[in-house]
Amino acid sequence: MQVASLKHVANSQTGRIGLLVLAAALALGSYLYTTSMGLAGTSDSYHYLYAAHTLRQTGHLLMPDGSPYQAWPPLFPVVLALLGGAGLVHWLNGLALLGAVAAWSAVGYQLLPGRRALALSLLLALGSPALVVSKFIWSEPLFNLLWACYFLALLSWMRRGGRVLGLLATGLGFLLPLQRIAGVFLLAGIGVGLAWPGAAKVGRPGGWARLGHLVGTGSGLLLWQVSSWPKLSLSNSIQLGDDPHAILPILADYGFVLWRWLVPLPAASLLALPAAVWVCLLVGVAALWPWAAIVRTPTRTVPAGLPLLCQRMLFMGLVLSLVLLTGSAARGRIGADVHEAERYLTPLYPTVLLLVLLNWPATKSKLIRLGPVLVVAWVLYQGVRAGHNAYRLHRLPPMGLLHLP
């Protein structure tokens, strides 16, 4: 009876709206408690705010030492300048968190059977990765929103076609690398998925439209790089670190972070086990997601083959992000500890959720019976972890007022 009731709630329009409202309330409540003392900041936050200040004052994005702001993409300081500084970032982060939950939930309701889509909304709302970055004046919250809206627009375009949806998806994809360089890695996964043999037969857009979409999304990075090229040192941008063995602990951190999204892992376990074990577990995560046929409910209006295409795009985005983030960390371009790993992998949390839920075995009776129990346990675990993190983040002191020249 309980399973039947749950299925009715998941498949009814009223039930889906109710669950989305519940998910939004959970996410908003966690966010308001976490940030009630104010947003925290790091050196990155100061650089963003300083660049926004100089843009308003001089029309140029500058670093605190007076050099051009070229090491990071320019979109976030531009948004901060339009907002007038740090005052409205609290609203921006909150709206970005809610918008990302809503967009990924909409993706889930199109690709997943009803109860899995229900679980996705709750896992997103209770997810710690997005909550943690929302506490800080960082570029990740807005990037998470752009990534969610882009994938939703892309899925809608693949389903229905049309120039408006195509332009919307291309425009959002254009902004991704301008917000964070990780957008390039995710777009590369989209490109590989769209170029996969047989992908041209799936969805409404034709081959030229898809090619135009990929060119349009990649042009954002190209324009930024062209404008930055005269001011950057090529040797500095491609120079490898001195210690090639640094890659192993970086991969271990990534493996630990990804598995902690799935199962409870104490922080001490990262050091208790050899780095090679976490690297093997990281590889094992990728092996959990074979490109097999996905069982969907017969009421879905998604064209045949589209869930599998989305699975490939998300999977390749995950793999390429891990590879390229590892390379960036090994070269010293980004931080290389477990806290930085949590931050940089945040956009991949919805990807991992979708891949796990898309690939849940639907043909083995024992797993079908255990499925609801495991999903409930997963949701409860995420809720407990989110509560613990919210309490810790709530106690962080807010970023002090900046005295900008």
Q: For residue 199, is it within any domain? A: yes
pLDDT value for 364: 58
Q: How many CA atoms lie within 13 A of 108 on its CB side?
A: 31
pLDDT value for 51: 95
Report residue 402's pLDDT band, with 50, 70 and 90 as the boundaries: low
Q: For residue 76, is it within any domain? A: no
Distance CA 100, CA 121 (A): 10
Q: Would you say residue 9 has pLDDT above 60?
A: no
Distance CA 82, CA 94 (A): 17
Q: For residue 399, is it within any domain? A: no
85-139 pLDDT tens trace: 788 999 999 999 999 999 999 999 999 888 889 999 999 999 999 999 999 999 9
Report residue 241's pLDDT band, with 50, 70 and 90 as the boundaries: very low
Nearest to 155 by CA among 112, 212, 219, 121: 112
Mean pLDDT of all residues in 339-357: 94
Asked if 312 and 291 touch (Cβ cutoff 8 Å), the reply is yes
Q: For residue 73, is it within any domain? A: no
Q: For residue 74, is it within any domain? A: no
47-90 pLDDT tens trace: 999 999 999 999 999 999 989 998 889 999 999 999 987 889 99
Q: Would you say residue 299 has pLDDT above 50?
A: no
pLDDT value for 403: 52
Distance CA 131, CA 387 (A): 10
Count of the separate structural domains present in the chain: 1
Nearest to 213 by CA among 144, 151, 154: 154
pLDDT value for 124: 97
Percent of the chain with pLDDT strictly greater than 90? 57
pLDDT value for 77: 96
Coil, helix or strand for 103?
helix
Distance CA 345, CA 353 (A): 13
What are the DSSP E strand ranges found in 231-344?
none
Q: Would you say residue 239 has pLDDT above 90?
A: no
Helices (H) and strands (E) in the chain — how many of each? 19, 0
Q: What contacts 24+ positions apart, CB below 8 Å, involve 236-245?
A: 238/331, 239/331, 240/330, 240/331, 241/330, 241/331, 241/332, 244/330
Distance CA 151, CA 217 (A): 12
pLDDT value for 220: 82
Q: For residue 45, is it within any domain? A: no
pLDDT value for 245: 61
Q: Terminus-to-terminus CA distance in the chain, angstroms?
A: 66
Helix, strand, coil percent content, the chain, rounded in steps of 5: 75, 0, 25
Containing domain of residue 214, as a range? 16-39+86-229+246-291+302-394
Nearest to 120 by CA among 145, 102, 132, 95: 102
Taking each helix axis from N to C end, the angle separating 89-111 and 75-83, rounded to the nearest 10 degrees, works out to 130
Q: For residue 47, is it within any domain? A: no
pLDDT value for 19: 84
Report residue 28's pLDDT band, with 50, 70 and 90 as the boundaries: very high
Q: Would you say residue 315 has pLDDT above 60?
A: yes
300-313 pLDDT tens trace: 556 668 888 999 99
Q: Would you say residue 18 has pLDDT above 80?
A: yes
Q: Residue 283 burial (CB < 10 Å; 0-12/13-18/19+)?
A: exposed
Q: Would you say residue 16 has pLDDT above 90?
A: no
Q: For residue 168, is it within any domain? A: yes
